[in-house]
Amino acid sequence: MIDAGHGGKDVGAVSKDKKTYEKTLTLDIAQRFADQVRRDCPDVKVVLTRDSDVFVPLGDRAAKANKAGAQLFISIHINSTTGTAANGYSVHVLGQSSVKNRDLFAYNMDVCRRENSVILLEEDYSTKYQGFDPTDPESFIFMQLMQNAYLEQSLLLSSVICGKLKGGPVKADRGIWQNPFYVLWKTAMPAVLVELGFISNSEDLSALRDEKNRDDLAKRLGEAFVVYKTLYDSSVNVQGMQNAVSEAAVAPAIAEPAPAQPEANPSPATPVAAESKPAPEAPAAVAPKRYGTQIFAASRDIDPGDKLFLGYTPEVIRIGSLRKYIIGIFEDPAQARAANAEIKKTYPSCFMVCLEGENVSRFK
């Protein structure tokens, strides 16, 4: 799912001379990007949240992606500030600031408020968005705690995109950021938001106004997608191979002990007792597979009693610096699936997983 930011009555950022709108640039780049993916990966279905100058509410953008069963969500935007010095591209994923001891709400909140403020253009937004107010920092508390369940994949894609944009029409690399963007929070799949330069900066604006440069940016995004897809496909194949190897190794063959050798030169008067064979060692116990629901992943420890877990007691699986929080765990996959149906009502981005010891893999 490719999301062209803004549209219709939501023009997004506007150039200083009022001649260029963010909504126009994002739509053009998104359409070129979509065409590039269709050419390079004909087996991939590409859908756009909008393909014309229409207003699409933030909630509807995420809902379209979820309904379509999209496996990836990429939102295209152009940045802006009140000054003119800031320039360059950046890629954003849902989450907290990765800078230690830095308050998320004080960190780049101008950008967060601007991208989320489209909600205010909708009628009765407070009811529709369940009280979420993009101008109130308290509305971001749940987003501060809730980490994207697909954080690993989102960060991987972000890294690939930054690498492909390097050396392109927009020069400065502002890196990967973690921010509470509503449209990323509500998507049940790996999701990133790309800011392709600053409309408030004359150099970036000049590059973005050039059709060839917009085509170049779209091609670079397409190349990034191809790299990500290759890595994703490889990881799925590797996981399948690992599962097959694990299942084959559940009951290892036990080698027969060598026959006992008689005592050398025994005395004829003393009968030789038959040497008993040692009992074969029992195979090591194999932990049974368990099935549960991963509600999110985080880069820090969260108190199991935190209200974020809504009364559930999670099991935490550590993989590197990432903690995966899993609830509704059963040895019977049918029971786990039934629990997942209930959990999904509260955690729409959750998904089922299979646990084998410390290994966690997606389960369908």
**Residue at token pair 């998104």:** 30
Amino acid identity of 55? Answer: F
Q: pTM for the complete prediction?
A: 0.60
Number of domains into which the chain is organized: 2
| CATH at 6 | 3.40.630.40
Same domain, 222 and 302: no
Residue 39 lies in a domain: yes
Same domain, 173 and 307: no
Query: 331 lies in which domain range?
Result: 290-362
Distance CA 204, CA 210 (A): 10
Distance CA 57, CA 44 (A): 26
Residue 101 lies in a domain: yes
Same domain, 60 and 147: yes
Same domain, 206 and 322: no
Q: Quick one: pLDDT band at residue 107, thresholds 50, 70, 90?
A: very low
More confident residue, 285 or 179: 179
pLDDT at 49: 96
Same domain, 13 and 124: yes
Q: Which of 218, 233, 248 is the last residue of a domain?
A: 233
Share of the chain above pLDDT 70, in %: 66
CA proximity to 93, closest of 4, 173, 189, 167: 189
Residue 306 lies in a domain: yes
Same domain, 74 and 215: yes
Residue 269 lies in a domain: no
Same domain, 215 and 312: no
pLDDT at 104: 41
Residue 263 lies in a domain: no
Q: How large is the angle between the packed helices 22-40 and 211-248, nearest 10 degrees?
A: 50
SS (H, E, C) 157-204: HHHHHHHHHCCCCCCCEEEEEEECCHHHHCCCCCEEEEEEEECCCHHH
In this predicted model, what pLDDT tens digit does every residue of 256-282 receive, in sequence order?
A: 334 444 444 444 444 444 455 556 565
Amino acid identity of 53? Answer: D
In this predicted model, what pLDDT tens digit does every residue of 296-349 receive, in sequence order?
A: 776 567 778 876 677 889 999 887 666 788 999 999 999 999 999 988 877 766
More confident residue, 324 or 200: 200
Distance CA 29, CA 26 (A): 5
Distance CA 290, CA 139 (A): 36
Same domain, 110 and 217: yes
In this predicted model, what pLDDT tens digit does every residue of 80-98 receive, in sequence order?
A: 999 999 999 999 887 654 4
Task: From residue 119, give the alpha-carbon distance in Å to each of 75, 122, 231.
Answer: 16, 6, 35
Q: Which of 233, 251, 275 is the last residue of a domain?
A: 233
| Bridge partner list, 76 | 4, 194
Average pLDDT over residues 244-249: 35
Residue 238 lies in a domain: no
